[in-house]
Structure 1
């Protein structure tokens, strides 16, 4: 899915609110947190190959009573090896990964603002979003690209323009 470097890029990134909610991110130094614990190769490849500093992010809370968009953020960069893969005490430990051949990466995400929430049910009300990847049956990826038209529509909802 490599994109032209001049094309604006947008992402939806899922995080569990008990680990790193939008409130945690906004309270962090420089409103920036490491996006660690990604253990899906496709999501990792998006981080490694496609995400760039400044890309827009819809900050999604998952595994909660009301999954949906809770914030807007941006990719802050600093792609690096995810150290949690080497920590046997971490829920993200990967016994098959080694420091000389790490499997997993992390990067920094900077929270910009808290919104909504905009629930899945609310998003499904808009025909303009019916083909949005996160709303498709069976989509469980923690990181997905967001089309510019979906990004613009959702920001319009947030800002009261849609």
Structure 2
């Protein structure tokens, strides 16, 4: 958070604007948390689930084909997608909690209540990187599984 305002005559105005901005960021964080989680889980599950369903359907029609082992890649992809979605949800939850800690009505009148450094900064960075790592891993596993199927078909 930025430094508290220096002049007494502007403090209440700046504090009110900052307080309102923090409440809005908290509201947006909660909204992003819900929307992102729904989109991510739906999209990645659709890709991996379709691959598993397609391979299982094809296998049922022809017996146990050699590409059936590739389904494991897509199952791992589903697990990674879940881990990515959970990490992103956790990240947005920490962000919203941070804004909630900062947006204290007392800051409108008391300079000592001005938002300080981010208490959840390390956890927010960690969960963001975790979500990205799991998400990229899920996409890579999708590509690897597809290559496995392609090579097994040849």
Tell me the TM-score normalised to structure 1 length. Answer: 0.20
Query: Greater strand percent: which structure?
Result: 1
Which one has the largest radius of gyration?
A: 2
